[in-house]
Amino acid sequence: MSRKFGLLGYPLQHSFSREYHNGRFARWGIDAVYENYELSDLSQLRSIVEADNELEGLNVTIPYKQSVIPLLDDVDAVAQTIGAVNVIRIERTDNTVRMVGCNSDYIGFRNSITPLLMPHHTHALVLGTGGASKAVCAALADMGIQVVRVSRTPGEGELSYDALTAEVMAQYTIVVNTTPLGMFPHVDACPNIPYYLLSSQHLCYDVVYNPECTLFMKRASEQGAVVHNGLEMLYGQADAAWDIWNR
């Protein structure tokens, strides 16, 4: 019986996950398939999982990394601490199906950004407050970097985009975009930060990986900033997800 895995999210036309996993299965000689589960709402999730005995695990992407949590039977310690799930391990025993939430975004992001960090990178602005933002903030904080999130509707301890003054931008030399702005097919969008205040001291990391160079990265690069997209993070979290599914 062929093993089955997949990606849960909406929409999914931007995603490289299916191509990456199926390519790896072919290279490794694994009898498995990776499919997209593009659901406009999550009410169908339980019935889909229970109806397909071959389905062993799911990745979770925008916009469900937080909203999927109440539908799960358990959430592991890492995902609980982060407050977001991007991997579901499906456990089947007899007639019982359990969905366990985990998080591999943390390790994917941390491994990707670590080689880029310089001694002056001590403060980070994280754009967005969704599931990816939670994993990014946790990773940066664990590396000893002071983190402030930026939101259009800031909560306590967060900044608005209007609050990104010259003083703030000079201190916070890491800027991570965790919003979907600029993601294919909406490639002409980008977060509304003061790009003219960026410099060669800044590291601007975009978790978006399609397109390869987002407008956020292009505008930051024009100011001399070091830029990096989320493709390494994607591959890193995918590899970590495979380990989770095979525990």
Active site residues: 65
Question: Residues in the chain, how many?
Answer: 247
Sheet holding 226-228, edge to edge: 146-150, 123-127, 174-177, 203-206, 226-228
DSSP letter for 39, please: -
CB 175 within 8 A of CB 148: no
CB 55 within 8 A of CB 4: yes
CB 179 within 8 A of CB 189: no
Tokens of 226: 């070091």
d(CA 42, CA 129): 20
Phi-psi region of 98 (alpha: psi -120 to 50; beta: other; left: phi over 0): beta
CB 193 within 8 A of CB 161: yes
Sheet holding 55-60, edge to edge: 32-38, 3-9, 55-60, 87-93, 96-102, 74-75
Query: Positive or negative, the Cα torsion across 172, 177, 179, 182?
Result: positive
